[in-house]
Amino acid sequence: MRSLLADPEERVFVKDRDSRFLLVSAGWLASFAPGCSLEEVIGKTDFDIFSRPHAVAKLEDEQRVLVTGQPMLAKVERETFPDRADAWVSTSKLPLLDEHGKIIGTWGISHDITAQIDAEKALAASYEQLRSRERQHRMLFEHNPQPMLVYERATLQIVAVNKSLVGS
């Protein structure tokens, strides 16, 4: 556990029933509260660190885990901050149990997936650009006043004709 908490890449947190931080990892501090010490974060809530809408959503997730005892697994979340760029994470939250099995809080881990989300957005934009160009080329083909046809090179089978060829 010490290794996990010391790892600068791992974003681990432990909270009490009131969603106050009891413990966070070095990676969590570096990602979500840069420049703060562990002592400065202990006892605070998400409302002290994240934007209000995001803190409300986090609190709702934690309350659901506390009430149902069911974990929330791999939820994709946009981490929003009042003073810096947003980040995307995949977060799992689980009930924190005492030695008698009673839920006394929540704990979880977040993995930064910002690069993955950015790549997915870029890919979606590329696909949309490709579809737009395909629509433009189709319009030029279909509405060209010159008769046109497209054929399969290997078989010489005609696969498309434009309106001018059909009308002639």
C-alpha–C-alpha distance, residues 4 and 120, integer Å: 29
Beta strands in 28-120 (DSSP E): 72-79, 87-97, 103-112
Residue 134's Cβ-side half-sphere holds a number of Cα atoms within 13 Å equal to 6
- Encode pLDDT of 40-66 as tens digits: 999 999 999 988 998 999 999 999 999
State how beta strands 21-24 and 158-161 pair: unpaired
pTM for this predicted structure:
0.73
- Encode pLDDT of 66-123 as tens digits: 999 999 999 999 988 778 888 899 999 999 999 999 999 999 999 999 999 999 999 9
Which residue from 26, 67, 35, 60 is spatially nearest to 46, judged by alpha carbons? Answer: 60
Contact 165, 147 (CB under 8 A): yes
Tell me the two tokens of residue 9. 């890449």
